[in-house]
Amino acid sequence: MDDIEKIKAKIKKLLALAKSPNPNEAASALKMAQDLIAEYNINASEMNTFEIDSQGTRTAYRDKPPTYENLLFGSIADAFGCRLIYGYKYPNSVWIFIGLKHRAEISAYIGQVLLRKLKAARKNYYKRLTRVRSKYRKIQRADDFCRAWVHTVISKLTTFAGISKEEKKAIETWENKNYPDLKKLETTNRSFGNSDDYYNGRRAGEGVELQHGVAVDPRSSLLLEA
């Protein structure tokens, strides 16, 4: 085996590690593989560099999800190096993460757990608005609460890793092949602008702790509400 074949063998081992559900290990292995590919001018397509996949998280909305939910899932996608799309899938719509397989899986799981916590926090806050007579006003104020909750929680997300041009191209190619007719997403913005609602949402969001990337299984990631 000549030197270049040894390098290719090493790259393949690193790419196998890059499929690990452990974000830190995966990011480190992927970066080392990409550095070797660039250093030795190896054609990345020969190495089967990227295993792109999609994973979804269902939501209760259909045509126009609320802006705070779009912010939540968009931030998760950015943190884990994924693309995000939204589509209707009977009987519910679904947020779909597209990226390296293990990143998409982690993103979908994180999104599922945080969305469940957000819905529970919203339900409890809505019940507390007993002095508000208008149902729509309650919805507006609960939305402002959720917006603040999301802003607080996503600030705790640790960025996974930068996406190389090659990885970005692979994701875009996969997306164009599987979802060729995407349209710009429209969201629903129902804001009342009450500072108390925003403050309460921030305070509730501070009670959510995120610790990810510490286990082999992405489902072992910790999301704990104090």
Parallel, antiparallel or unpaired: strands 208-211 and 222-225:
antiparallel
CA 10, chain centre distance (Å): 30
pTM of the model as a whole: 0.71
- Residue 225 is predicted with a pLDDT of 35
R_g of the chain computed on alpha carbons: 20
DSSP secondary structure letter of residue 218: G
pLDDT for 122-161, tens place per residue? 999 999 999 988 999 999 999 999 999 999 999 888 655 5
Helices 23-39 and 3-17: angle between axes, nearest 10 degrees? 160
On whether the CB atoms of residues 94 and 107 are closer than 8 A, the answer is: no
Tens of pLDDT along the chain (226 residues) come to 578 878 888 887 887 787 777 777 878 888 888 888 888 887 665 555 567 889 999 988 777 899 999 999 999 999 888 999 998 766 778 999 999 888 898 899 999 999 999 999 999 999 999 998 899 999 999 999 999 999 999 988 865 556 777 778 888 888 988 888 888 888 988 888 888 898 999 999 998 877 644 333 343 333 333 2
Q: Which among 208, 162, 164, 150 has a CA at the least distance from the CA of 23?
A: 162
Cα–Cα distances in angstroms (integers) from residue 93 to residues 17, 65, 108, 159, in the given order:
33, 9, 14, 26
Contacts of 194 (CB under 8 A, 6+ apart): 141, 144
Separation of alpha carbons 22 and 218, rounded Å = 7
Contacts of 208 (CB under 8 A, 6+ apart): 114, 117, 152, 153, 156, 223, 224, 225, 226
